[in-house]
Structure 1
Amino acid sequence: MLFFICRWGTFVEGGPHCVDMSSVTALGPNFSYMQYVQAHWQEDAFFGYQCLNGCNPLCIRQIHNLSSNLSVTSEMVRPFLPEDSSLEQEMERGHVYLLDYEVLDQLPANTVNDKQTYLAAPLCLLHYNRQGELKPIAIQLQQAPGPQNPVFLPSDSAPDWLLAKMWVRNSDFQVHQLLSHFLRTHLIGEVCCTATLRQLPEIHPLHQLLMPHIRSTLQINIQARVTLLATKGVFDKSIACGLEAIPLLLARGTQRLRYSSLCVPDDIRVRGLEALPICYYAQDALRVWDALHRFVAGWIRLYYCNDEDVQHDCELQNWIGEIFTQGFLGLSHIGVPQSFQTAAEMCKFVTMVIFSCSALHAAVNFSQLDYNLWIPNSPAAMSRPPSQTKGSVSEEDIFSFLPEVNSSCHVLSVLSLLSQPAIDFVPLCHYNEWYFSSGATVNLVEGVRRELKMIAKDIADRNSQLELPYPYLSPDHIENSVTI
Structure 2
Amino acid sequence: MVDYEVTVYTANRTAATTFNNVFLKLVGTNGESERKRLLSLRGPSAFVRGAVASFTVSYPTSLGKLVLVELDKKPLFLFPEDSWFPAKVEVKSPDGEIYNFPVYRWISDSKVHRFREGTALKGFEDSHQLGRYSREQELKQRQKDYCWDVYVEGIPHCIKADGPLSLPAEVRFSFTKQTEFLFTKITGLAELKLKGLVDNKTNWTNIDDIDRVFWFKQTDISGTDNLHKVNPTKLDNLPVTDKMVFPDGCCSLAEEIKKGNIFLCDYKQMDGVKTNTINDEKQYLMAPLVLLHKTPDDKLMPIAIQLKQKPAEDNPIFLPSDSEYDWLMAKIFVRSADFSEHQLNVHLLRTHLLAEVFAVSLLRNVPMVHPLHKLLIPHTRYTLQINFLARNRLISEEGVFTKFSASGGEGMITILRRSLSSVTYSSLCVPEDIAERGVKDVPNFYYRDDALRLWDTINRFVRGILTYYYKTDAEVQQDSELQKWILDIFEHGFLSQPCPGIPQKLTTVDELIKFVTMVIFTGSAQHAAVNGGQFDFGSWMPNTPISLQLPPPTKKGEATEETMLKTLPDVNTTVQGMAIMWLLSQQSSDFAPLGQYSEDHFSEETPRQMMANFKKELAALSAAIKERNKTLEVPYTYLDPEEVENSVAI
Bin for the TM-score computed over the shorter chain: 0.7 to 0.9
Q: Distance in 1 between matches of 2:271 and 2:462?
A: 39
Q: Which of 274, 280, 301 is the aligned partner of 2:440?
A: 274
Secondary structure in 2 matching 1:138 = strand
Counterpart of 1:31 in structure 2 is: 219
Counterpart of 1:247 in structure 2 is: 413
Q: Which of 57, 64, 78 is the aligned partner of 2:246?
A: 78
Counterpart of 2:25 in structure 1 is: none
Counterpart of 2:540 in structure 1 is: 374
1:334-386 CA-to-partner distances (Å, cap 9, x unmatched) read: 32111111111111111111111011111111110000000111101001011
Q: Which has the larger radius of gyration?
A: 2
Q: Which of 221, 229, 235 is the aligned partner of 1:54?
A: 229
Amino acid at match of 2:582: S
Q: Which of 567, 571, 585 is the aligned partner of 1:419?
A: 585
Query: Relative to structure 1, is the Cα distance of residues 77 and 322 closer, same or farther in structure 2, using a 3 angstrom cutoff?
Result: same
Deviates more, 1:422-431 or 1:392-401: 392-401
**TM-aligned CA deviation for residue 456 of structure 1:** 0.6
Give structure 2 stretches of 5+ with no counterpart. 1-185, 190-214
**TM-aligned CA deviation for residue 276 of structure 1:** 2.1
Secondary structure in 2 matching 1:456 = helix
**TM-aligned CA deviation for residue 438 of structure 1:** 4.7
Secondary structure in 2 matching 1:79 = coil
Q: Distance in 1 between matches of 2:393 and 2:625?
A: 36
Secondary structure in 1 matching 2:645 = coil
Counterpart of 1:431 in structure 2 is: 597
Secondary structure in 1 matching 2:247 = helix
Q: Distance in 2 between matches of 1:293 and 1:29?
A: 37
Q: Distance in 2 between matches of 1:118 and 1:375?
A: 16
Q: Tell me if structure 2 keeps the 8 A contact 1:29–1:370.
A: no
1:261 and 2:261 equivalent? no
1:166 and 2:332 equivalent? yes
Give aligned-pair identity as a percent.
45
1:297 and 2:472 equivalent? no
Amino acid at match of 2:303: I
Counterpart of 2:284 in structure 1 is: 118
1:295-314 CA-to-partner distances (Å, cap 9, x unmatched) read: 00011011100111111111
Counterpart of 1:216 in structure 2 is: 382
Counterpart of 2:182 in structure 1 is: none
Counterpart of 1:18 in structure 2 is: none
Secondary structure in 2 matching 1:245 = helix
Q: Distance in 2 between matches of 1:295 and 1:211?
A: 15
Q: Tell me if structure 1 keeps the 8 A contact 2:537–2:543.
A: yes
Secondary structure in 2 matching 1:185 = helix
Q: Which of 458, 469, 494 is the aligned partner of 1:328?
A: 494
Q: Tell me if structure 2 keeps the 8 A contact 1:422–1:483.
A: no
Q: Distance in 2 between matches of 1:396 and 1:219?
A: 43
Amino acid at match of 1:159: Y
Q: Distance in 2 between matches of 1:146 and 1:455?
A: 49
1:385 and 2:551 equivalent? yes
Counterpart of 1:106 in structure 2 is: 272
Give the number of the structure whose residues are more often strand, by fraction: 2
Counterpart of 1:339 in structure 2 is: 505
Q: Distance in 2 between matches of 1:116 and 1:289?
A: 43
1:449-468 matches, within 5 Å, as: 449-468=615-634
**TM-aligned CA deviation for residue 407 of structure 1:** 1.3
Amino acid at match of 1:303: Y
Query: Relative to structure 1, is the Cα distance of residues 29 and 480 closer, same or farther in structure 2, using a 3 angstrom cutoff?
Result: farther
Q: Tell me if structure 1 keeps the 8 A contact 2:592–2:646.
A: yes
1:163-242 matches, within 5 Å, as: 163-242=329-408
Secondary structure in 2 matching 1:127 = strand
Q: Tell me if structure 2 keeps the 8 A contact 1:190–1:217.
A: yes
Q: Distance in 2 between matches of 1:325 and 1:93?
A: 42
**TM-aligned CA deviation for residue 333 of structure 1:** 3.5
Deviates more, 1:259-268 or 1:237-246: 237-246
Q: Distance in 2 between matches of 1:56 and 1:29?
A: 22
1:94 and 2:260 equivalent? yes
Secondary structure in 2 matching 1:99 = strand
Q: Distance in 2 between matches of 1:232 and 1:147?
A: 39
Greater RCO structure (CA 8 Å; 6+ sep): 1
Give the number of the structure whose residues are more often helix, by fraction: 1
Q: Tell me if structure 2 keeps the 8 A contact 1:255–1:334.
A: no
Secondary structure in 2 matching 1:408 = helix
Q: Tell me if structure 1 keeps the 8 A contact 2:299–2:443.
A: no
1:112-151 matches, within 5 Å, as: 112-151=278-317
Query: Relative to structure 1, is the Cα distance of residues 115 and 28 closer, same or farther in structure 2, using a 3 angstrom cutoff?
Result: closer
**TM-aligned CA deviation for residue 3 of structure 1:** 6.9
Q: Distance in 2 between matches of 1:276 and 1:2?
A: 41
**TM-aligned CA deviation for residue 31 of structure 1:** 2.7
**TM-aligned CA deviation for residue 437 of structure 1:** 6.2
Q: Distance in 2 between matches of 1:355 and 1:31?
A: 26
1:31-81 CA-to-partner distances (Å, cap 9, x unmatched) read: 3212x52xxx5xxxx3xx2xxx11111x232x4x53xxx6x223321237x
1:184-203 CA-to-partner distances (Å, cap 9, x unmatched) read: 11001111111111211121
1:253-279 CA-to-partner distances (Å, cap 9, x unmatched) read: 000111111101001111122212300
Q: Tell me if structure 2 keeps the 8 A contact 1:178–1:246.
A: yes
**TM-aligned CA deviation for residue 434 of structure 1:** 1.8
Q: Tell me if structure 1 keeps the 8 A contact 2:230–2:534.
A: yes
Q: Which of 134, 152, 164 is the aligned partner of 2:318?
A: 152
Q: Distance in 1 between matches of 2:468 and 2:516?
A: 15
Q: Tell me if structure 1 keeps the 8 A contact 2:404–2:577.
A: yes
Secondary structure in 2 matching 1:476 = helix
Amino acid at match of 2:295: N
Counterpart of 2:476 in structure 1 is: 310
Amino acid at match of 1:322: D
Deviates more, 1:280-289 or 1:191-200: 191-200
Residue correspondences, number: 441
Give structure 1 stretches of 5+ with no counterpart. 5-26
Q: Tell me if structure 2 keeps the 8 A contact 1:376–1:402.
A: yes
**TM-aligned CA deviation for residue 236 of structure 1:** 2.2
Q: Distance in 2 between matches of 1:202 and 1:475?
A: 27
1:451-474 CA-to-partner distances (Å, cap 9, x unmatched) read: 111111111111111111100000
